[in-house]
Chains A and B, each alone.
Chain A
Amino acid sequence: GEDVEQSLFLSVREGDSSVINCTYTDSSSTYLYWYKQEPGAGLQLLTYIFSNMDMKQDQRLTVLLNKKDKHLSLRIADTQTGDSAIYFCAEQSGSARQLTFGSGTQLTVLP
């Protein structure tokens, strides 16, 4: 079955860039997503990328996709304390309708 892997923790200094990595196994994935979850809150859609793209930029967020290696990353430029949250990578394959989520990466931004 599909599997999505993420590292559990990342700490960065305020103002630095954060890079959160994700690997997936389903080669038929059509869309890959990044969601953000703040403490006690639901999942907020941050961005997504279609599988035929290799990069997508949206303000401070840059998504890179290496389809050959099945590797996805989310770069947050100029990381702020408000970016502290859990970031989930999720993949959606063409034949299925549900999302398969990674375990989430807890990002801590230090002052």
Chain B
Amino acid sequence: DAGVIQSPRHEVTEMGQEVTLRCKPISGHNSLFWYRQTMMRGLELLIYFNNNVPIDDSGMPEDRFSAKMPNASFSTLKIQPSEPRDSAVYFCASSLDSGETQYFGPGTRLLVL
């Protein structure tokens, strides 16, 4: 099994630019989670989907952040416009079903200059 796949692994961009992070969950998993990791705030859940439907987006920082899951094998997290304070590691995780064990991808390291 390939595990959760995220791309890109690293992203450096300038303030104001649009950033799109991508995630492919483990095949057969129907729950997908986006987390953000920073030194100051640790690991925070941004949003999670169940059967491609957003269930809880209360962790999304503000309107600049949006997430989609057009099908069971693909999700995006978009930041538009990006700001330096968005610099963090963004993790995607998937689980067989809601409440099941979550498996994490390698993360995308985002630096906004």
**Chain A interface (Cβ within 8 Å of chain B)?**
30-31, 33, 35, 41-45, 48, 88, 92, 94, 97-99, 101-104
Query: Are the C-beta atoms of B42 and A101 separated by less than 8 Å?
Result: yes
Chain A interface helix/strand/loop/mixed: strand
**What is the interface residue range for chain B against chain A?**
20 to 34
In the complex, what's the smallest C-beta–C-beta distance from A63 to chain B, in angstroms? 14
CA distance in complex: A97, B43 (Å): 15
Tally A-B pairs: CB < 8 A: 43
The closest CB in chain B to the CB of A40 belongs to B109
CA distance in complex: A42, B93 (Å): 10
Query: Out of A44, A48, A94, A101, which one reaches B101, CB within 8 Å?
Result: A48
Please list the 3 inter-chain residue pairs (A to B) with the smallest Cβ-Cβ separation, ordered nearest first: A43-B104, A101-B43, A42-B106
CA distance in complex: A33, B99 (Å): 12
CA distance in complex: A55, B34 (Å): 30
CA distance in complex: A45, B33 (Å): 15
Residues facing A in B58-100 (CB within 8 A) are 59, 91, 93, 98-99
Residues of chain B within 8 A (CB-CB) of A104 are 42
Query: Are the C-beta atoms of B42 and A97 separated by less than 8 Å?
Result: no
- Supposing A33-B101, A45-B103, A98-B56 touch, asked if A88 and B33 sit within 8 A by C-beta, the answer is no
